[in-house]
Amino acid sequence: MWFTKQFPEEQWVKLLRALPSHYNVYLLGAAPDRDTCERLRQTSGRAGVENLAGQLSLLTSAALMRGAVLNYVNDSAPMHLCSSVGAPTCAVFCSTVPFFGFGPLSPFSRVVQIEETLECQPCGLHGYAKCPLGHFYCAHGIRTQQLLDALAEAEVWAAAQH
């Protein structure tokens, strides 16, 4: 995946540390994501985080995602996997924008992106290997509270489904 479509590791760590402690967190990805997910798990210092990167089939990952209260995903294949099975989704958009037509399609889906308007965003249809301007503010400017707000909405939505 393009670097500028990826929420930075330090941002994921902030989210992991801020999530309510009663939630178990499963880090998913392909085998090449295993080291990154392990770094996130260890750096967060949070109990209840399990690194499953490279261990599950696509169908097993989809089933786990479907059963989640909320899936935090980049603008990437996991977002589309969530859409395909109707899994609750919070899609984090950094350098790209859902306006291009690639946003989440699940019954419960939220898009989180920087709240201010940036002249440089979007910097391309699929992002770049690095930020063309060198600051990557479209990712670093996203607040953890925005992600937590999506979880609060997902909890209300899930309760209404039962």
Neighbours of 50 (CB within 10 A): 13
Fold assignment, 3-161: Rossmann fold (3.40.50)
DSSP state of 104: -
- Which two three-digit tokens encode residue 15? 């989210």
Distance CA(49)–CA(36), nearest Å, equals: 13
pTM above 0.75, yes or no: yes
- H/E run at residue 10: helix 9-18
In a structure prediction context, what are the per-residue pLDDT tens digits for the chain, which is 162 residues long? 688 999 999 999 999 999 999 999 999 999 999 999 999 999 999 999 999 999 999 999 999 999 999 999 999 999 999 999 999 999 999 999 998 888 999 999 999 999 999 999 999 888 889 999 999 999 999 999 999 999 999 999 999 998
